[in-house]
Structure 1
Amino acid sequence: MNHPAPNDPAPNDPAPNDPAVHAPSPEPAGVSAEGPSSPDRVWTARIVLTGIAWGAAIDIFMVMWTWIQNDKGSADRCATALVMPLGILWTFTLVASLLCFRRGAPRFGIVFAILFALISITGNGDVADASMNGLEPPRTPLDTLSEPLRCVVVLGGGITIAYDEVPELGIAGQRIMYTAQLWHAGHTQAVICTGGSSLGRIQPAEAGRMMLESIGVPSDKIYESPGDNTSQEMKNLEAFFASPPAGFPRDGKVGLVTSASHMKRAMRLAAERDLKFVPLPCGYETGADYEFSPKELIPSPGAMDSFGRALKERLARLVNR
């Protein structure tokens, strides 16, 4: 009886070069090389719909809580804040974090949770107020000025230039308004507008002059001093006071007007130049205390801007700028 050799293929086995040996196994039903299977698409759609439902539930809860806690007007403003880009991002990061933890993806959940916390903290009005509160010195009572100041220096940055090159009050426009109030109240004999820029045709000092002239400050009582930043402004003011122009007042103290959050840095840089100013801060961003509203939990661009400027002032102190 003949038996096949050990290495010979069995009679019913395909030959080694038979195409059937190398043919790929058939794919399971519903699996396609071109994209996700139908069950995958169903699960993806379900997760998206779940996220939308959770987000809508959170937003409705915030609006109703605000209505019950405050009033309908506050609830309307809460709803508006939630449909703004920052409000949508805030809700999305919260929902995404919850979904990732629920679906067994804790690493992604932690990332989204960190983003949610970062947005919530930097965009919170109370946090912004606390950041500014440590920077803003108390207001200087004007009744402490026994006689008119020699002049008031108003630092640039309070004026923006519109598309048609018309100066307008910017976010720090209270600097110009306060300076005009000091002049009309008889607290100063002259005004120095500072600021320079290589980007625009109208310089900040010139824009300040134009705005003050438009609200009744005499042109011959307004002087200009350039400077692209606070350090340069102080350097140029040092030269100005060392050799003032003809007609400039000789007697009296000099006041410095700038935003309250910027005053400490401005006074520090002035002291480095041996310039002595009476601080006249304005444009306070630390708000008055109000009744709590759930809307305050929703981040706002304004609070982020205040938080960023407070951070900028602290960083400037670290690098002595």
Structure 2
Amino acid sequence: MDHTESSAKAKERSVLAQLAIGVGVPIALAIVLMVLSAVLHGRPMAEKMARGLMLPCGVVWLAMLAVAVGCFTQRQRVLGVAALCAFVVHGLFGGDLFGAWMCSQLESQFPMVDPKTCQRFDMLIVLGGGTKSSGPDHAALSFAGDRVAMAVRLYHAGKAGKLLFTGENMPWDTERLSIAESSQRVANELNVPTDAIENVPGENTYQEFQHLKETVDSTQRIGLVTSATHMPRAMRLADSVGLNLVAVPADFERDEPTPFPLCLIPSASGYRRTERSSIEFLAAIVGR
């Protein structure tokens, strides 16, 4: 009986020790990251680190590490390796380091344009995605709003004669302003006159470029405004339909570096960067 009780207690202690290790390692990592953030950047950065670790992406990241450590302590090596790989992949794709590097590979292909010193454009094609609408009378800038902002800045600097906005609603989405209409409304509110704006029909960029190929004067100097990460694909598409455009990239991601060690923590913004750049690389692979 005593032997049985001692064996049970020993097993219980072993389980508790394994649990403590499984939980303790992620907690220790979190503490190290917060202390390192405080030492390198001060208390505000440590608070940002703590917040990032408590958000869903951060919690899942630490949970994956806890599962990996727990599996290894119980000698379940296959599951441990799988959980550890998931921890690494989640941190890689969700952290800002990898996403920022991928974005920089795309954005470095075309230089920034200075609205004050650049050569004048007869017209600017502004690809949709810079505005949004939540109703028939509401328009606002979206996450890629720098597209519209860049076009408006060039217009007011006297470097753009006309703005051509793209982006139609899908057939099932008729209750809101189209992206082109939203862009026009925002531009109007920023003192761009209606007679300097034209909306381009088409359900996708290819259709829009085909329409422009048939309607614009090829002897004019025409700029293309879109997000810097999207610019390589957009220029390839323009070339494929015979449009001679000048790249005017906007919405640069590389100008927003996340400091170490916060850049190691997976986040929604990190995944957004990785996703945006991955779409562009995949498009290049399939010849788009």
TM-score scaled by length of structure 1: 0.79
Deviations 1:101-139 (A, max 9, x none): 121000001110111111111122121121011111211
The aligned amino acid for 1:162 is S
Give the alignment partner of residue 189 of structure 2, picking from 214, 218, 223.
214
Q: Structure 1 runs of 4+ off > 3 angstroms?
A: 37-50
> In 2 relative to 1, CA 166–195 (structure 1 residues): closer, same or farther, beyond 3 Å?
same
Alpha-carbon distance change, 43 to 272 in structure 1, aligned in 2, over 3 angstroms: same
Match of 1:231 among 201, 206, 213: 206
Q: Distance in 2 between matches of 1:38 and 1:237?
A: 79
Q: Select the residue among 156, 163, 167 that pairs with 1:184.
A: 156
Shift in Å at residue 152 of structure 1? Answer: 0.8
Following superposition, the deviation at residue 318 of structure 1 comes to 1.8
Looking at CA atoms only, which structure, 1 or 2, has the larger radius of gyration?
A: 1
Structure 1 residue corresponding to 2:113, chosen from 120, 127, 140: 140
1:93 corresponding residue in structure 2: 64
SS at match of 1:293: coil
Report whether the alignment pairs 1:119 with 2:99: no
Partner of 2:242: 274
Q: 1:109 aligns with which of 73, 80, 84?
A: 80
Q: Is the 8 A contact 2:123 2:161 kept in 1?
A: yes
Alignment-mate amino acid for residue 235 of structure 2: M
1:296 corresponds, among 250, 255, 263, to: 263
CA distance in 2, matches of 1:70, 1:208: 39
Question: Number of residue pairs matched?
Answer: 277
Note the aligned Cα RMSD (angstroms): 2.5
Partner of 1:174: 146
Note if contact 1:150-1:251 (Cα within 8 Å) is conserved in structure 2. Answer: no
1:43–1:163 Cα change, 3 Å: farther
Structure 2, unmatched stretches of 5+, are none
8 A contact 1:161–1:168 mirrored in 2: yes
What TM-score does the superposition give when structure 2 sets the normalisation length?
0.87
- Give the C-alpha shift of residue 220 in structure 1: 1.2
Structure that is richer in helix per residue: 2
Preserved contact between residue 97 and residue 264 of structure 2 (Cα < 8 Å): no
Q: Please name the residue that 1:265 is paired with.
A: 233
What SS does structure 2 have at the residue aligned with 1:187?
A: coil
- For 2:19 and 2:137, the matched residues in 1 are separated by 48
